[in-house]
Amino acid sequence: MGRSNVGKSSLIRRLTGLRVRVGKRPGVTRRTRRYRLDGLEVVDLPGFGFMSGVPRGIQERIKTQLIRYLESHSKRIGVAIEVIDARSFPEIVERWERRAQIPVDVEFFHFLKDLRLDPIIAVNKIDLIYPDERDDLLDFICERMDMLPPWRQWLDVVAPVSARTGEGIAHLRRLIEKRLRKKKMEHLMRVFRKRSG
């Protein structure tokens, strides 16, 4: 799950090799897309938050639907991954904070934790960040998600990745595997080994 255009579909494609539809315009995946794979279902959830051209009422409805979906499926969810866009996250967070509101990304992360889903944060599009700026950015992201920096303390939760270049995908796979193992679902891990990268 994640905001629209952060690369959710691209990541699913990279992790599974599935021919997932990737959008050029935000808001392409407004419907939930399910991919059944060897007894595991990979679910590409609709993007939440602001989407240009999408009325506010619809954005609110998507958010409500996501909350309901997660609540009613929490027992069956093996791994929950929240994807954020490395480059746009700081700006989005600051915009919400100026209005003294909690960013919806942060809100959803806490919600996933409350549901005991042990969520992973995939910080996608890391290829767009200069290498020497990454640590500061990842510290910032952790801090906003209520995890004390330095970010490397949170390698069990945070995975900087690029669906485009494949960077960080191996680490993300390990985090997924760990959660599946904990839930005795490790046999389903083969789904995520279909592609190297």
Bridge pairing between strands 40-44 and 33-37: antiparallel
Q: Which is nearer to ligand GDP, 85 or 191 (CB)?
A: 85
Q: Which of 1, 7, 9, 49 binds Mg ion (CB under 5 A)?
A: 9
Q: Considering the complex, what minimum distance in angstroms separates the CB of residue 160 from ligand GDP?
A: 10
Q: Considering the complex, what minimum distance in angstroms separates the CB of residue 7 from Mg ion?
A: 8
| Biggest alpha carbon–alpha carbon distance for the chain | 46
Looking at residue 48, the DSSP 8-state letter turns out to be B
For residue 44, the cross-strand partners are: 33
Q: Which is nearer to Mg ion, 137 or 163 (CB)?
A: 163
Based on its alpha-carbon atoms, the radius of gyration of the chain, rounded to whole angstroms, reads 16
* 162 belongs to the binding site for Mg ion (CB under 5 A): no
Residue (of 141, 112, 145) closest to 126 by Cα position: 141
Q: Which residues contact 190 (CB under 8 A, 6 or more apart)?
A: 38
Name the segment binding Mg ion (CB under 5 A); options: 6-14, 68-76, 109-117, 146-154.
6-14
- Two tokens at 133? 């700026």
Chain residues in the site for ligand GDP (CB under 6 A)? 2, 4-10, 22-24, 28-29, 47, 124-125, 127-128, 162-164
- Two tokens at 25? 């315009």
- Two tokens at 5? 């255009």
Which of the listed partners (Mg ion, ligand GDP, none) does 7 bind, with a CB threshold of 5 to 8 Å by partner kind? ligand GDP
Burial (0-12, 13-18, 19+ Cβ within 10 Å), 62: buried
Q: Which is nearer to ligand GDP, 85 or 142 (CB)?
A: 85
Q: Which is nearer to ligand GDP, 127 or 135 (CB)?
A: 127
Q: Which is nearer to ligand GDP, 22 or 185 (CB)?
A: 22
Site string for Mg ion, 29-48 (x = CB under 5 A): x-------------------
* 16 belongs to the binding site for Mg ion (CB under 5 A): no
